[in-house]
Amino acid sequence: MPEEMVGTVSDFFAHPVVAGIELTGTLKVGDRVHIKGHTTDLEFTIGSMQIDNADVSQGKAGDSVGVKVSDRVRSGDHIYRVTD
């Protein structure tokens, strides 16, 4: 499936397991994403997203969002939206 880069991981928090993402494109709750890095290869569907601790349904280029992830990700990992 084709993928479009929509951001980069800026932070990772172990408790809760959340990635801080600097967006370069649009990302919405329900989007399928692929996080790829030197040692990271993770694919999942966005279940929730926050900006400044407030729930949002989507983020746009320039936003810093927090997203729950299923495993550790690392600063600099790239975020791709998987498209059909």
Instruction: Tell me which amino acid residue 34 is.
Output: H
Query: How many domains is the chain partitioned into structurally?
Result: 1
Decide if 72 contacts 11 (C-beta within 8 A). Answer: no
Q: For residue 24, what is the domain's CATH number?
A: 2.40.30.10
pLDDT of residue 33: 97
Alpha-carbon Rg for the chain, nearest whole angstrom, is: 11
Q: What pLDDT, on the 0 to 100 scale, is given for residue 39?
A: 95
Give me the domain span that covers residue 18. Answer: 3-82
Handedness of CA 35, 16, 56, 22 (dihedral sign): negative
Tens digit of each residue's pLDDT, the chain (84 residues): 799 999 999 999 998 899 999 999 999 999 999 999 999 999 999 999 999 999 999 999 999 999 999 899 999 999 999 987
* pLDDT at residue number 43: 96
